Amino acid sequence: MNFIDELRWRGMLHDIMPGTEEELNKGMVSGYIGFDPTADSLHVGHLTQIMTLIHFQKAGHKPFALVGGATGMVGDPSGKSAERNLLAEDTLQKNVQALESQLKKFLDFDCGTNSAEMVNNYDWFKNFNFLDFIRDVGKHITVNYMMAKDSVKKRLEGETGLSFTEFSYQLIQGYDFYWLWQNKNCKVQMGGSDQWGNIVTGTELVRRIGKGTAFAITTQLIKKADGNKFGKTEGGAIWLDAAKTSPFRFYQFWLNTTDDDAKNWIKIFSLKSQEEIETIEKEHNEAPHLRLLQKALANEITVRTHSEAALEKALNTSNFLFGNGPIEFLTQLTKEEIFEIFEGIQQYTFGKEKLSLGINLVDLLAENTHVFPSKGEAKKMLQGGGVSINKLKINDVNGMVNSSDLINESFIIVQKGKKNYFLLIAE
């Protein structure tokens, strides 16, 4: 497998420094990508770079994942319109540990000579004092060189300006590259296209301090076909941590992509071969309503990020909400998982004590909760067969609901029509 050819056909390659491809063709090369610990989880926006490292390793090269315990204290101005809030050191270290744990799910850390390695730039910066840094590193890069970078120019042209802290970021990232080149024989740095300026600062430090040669590769920044930012939804970022974004929501994010996005994203976020993807795309085009591209993408990326068991639960949840899945499925879930499933769905609470004697169904739906605005409308919908309680269709306006109808001793699921769900919570 040729790494650069792989990036090209997948539509991932953006820029490549002259000589990089020739260097990679000589044999195993070490390369790295940095991840700043600005949160205690990576999100789907990081997946492009994670996939880049996966392809790099599959091509026989040695990947380094750098977690920026030091650079996270500074903040990268690239692509930002305003300065980030700086995190407390204990928060930063907690984030570093979380990111290291997540990255180990994706890369092989035990496969011989090209096993992945994790590094933290705090390890080489913690004893590097300011005077030594500006003397040993700063003198090699001119202010004119740093000012010419797009990430700097755009911020200087804006209203917020650029602090010295963020201005220094490219020097710190550049030194990362130099340190890894010197100590880990790391010859290639990779990143998103907005990182080009920071990466080539590193190649300059390798040339000027180490009298050596280093290389740069950047990937396309992923956008939706409609131009909107990838990975953002009305509910916020889609995280890789199951506690922040459930596997069900994660799965649904990929399943609900448009056909145009799915055709691009399956190349970027899947490890399927070109032939496999072309076959799925052909089958998808013959029956678009089956959403074969979206399902193939969602299945694979959910398993890689979470697990087979997590995918199965996401599929069962989808089948319950949008298909004919049995109500028994919910009894296998925790209360938190049930709340997660019904996030964004209308919820009503009512007194649990009323269930001991039983509540008339019409009263429950129109008085104790507001599934229906009036008893008359509730009766009409019930008589017409348009109401289901816990997946069971009810048409008896004199029907009663009692404690035995509660799921996990807390919930009643109401369906009005085919797709309108309501979660009733007994407290």
Positions at the binding site for ATP = 232
Q: Is 46 a catalytic residue?
A: yes
Find tokens 């919820």 and name the residue: 347
Alpha helices (H) in 15-163, listed in sequence order: 20-24, 47-58, 89-103, 122-125, 130-136, 143-147, 150-157
Active-site pick, 14, 58, 84, 352: 84
Active-site pick, 14, 38, 93, 347: 38
Active-site pick, 165, 182, 233, 346: 233
- CB-based contacts of 44: which residues, under 8 Å, 6+ apart? 230, 231, 237, 238, 239, 240, 253
Detail the residues annotated as belonging to a binding site. Answer: 32, 169, 173, 232
Contact 407, 385 (CB under 8 A): no
Active-site pick, 10, 46, 149, 379: 46
Contact 190, 176 (CB under 8 A): no
Active-site pick, 232, 244, 291, 295: 232
Q: Is 10 a catalytic residue?
A: no
Active-site pick, 71, 102, 173, 305: 173
Detail the residues annotated as belonging to a binding site for L-tyrosine. Answer: 32, 169, 173
Active-site pick, 194, 208, 220, 272: 194
Q: Is 233 a catalytic residue?
A: yes
Active-site pick, 126, 153, 223, 229: 229
Q: Is 229 a catalytic residue?
A: yes
Q: For residues 55 and 1, what is the distance between their CA atoms, to the nearest angstrom? A: 9
Closest listed residue to residue 237, CA positions, set 219, 253, 255: 253
Q: Is 380 a catalytic residue?
A: no
Beta bridge mates, 420: 416
Taking 3-state DSSP, the helix, strand and coil percentages for the chain, each rounded to the nearest 5, stand at 50, 15, 35
Q: Is 194 a catalytic residue?
A: yes
To 10 degrees, the CA torsion angle through 214, 18, 70, 238? -140
| Beta strands, E only, 230-319 | 232-233, 236-237
Q: For residues 214 and 193, what is the distance between their CA atoms, to the nearest angstrom? A: 17
Q: Is 279 a catalytic residue?
A: no
Total residue count of the chain as it appears in this document:
427
- Active-site residue list: 38, 43, 46, 80, 84, 173, 194, 229, 232-233
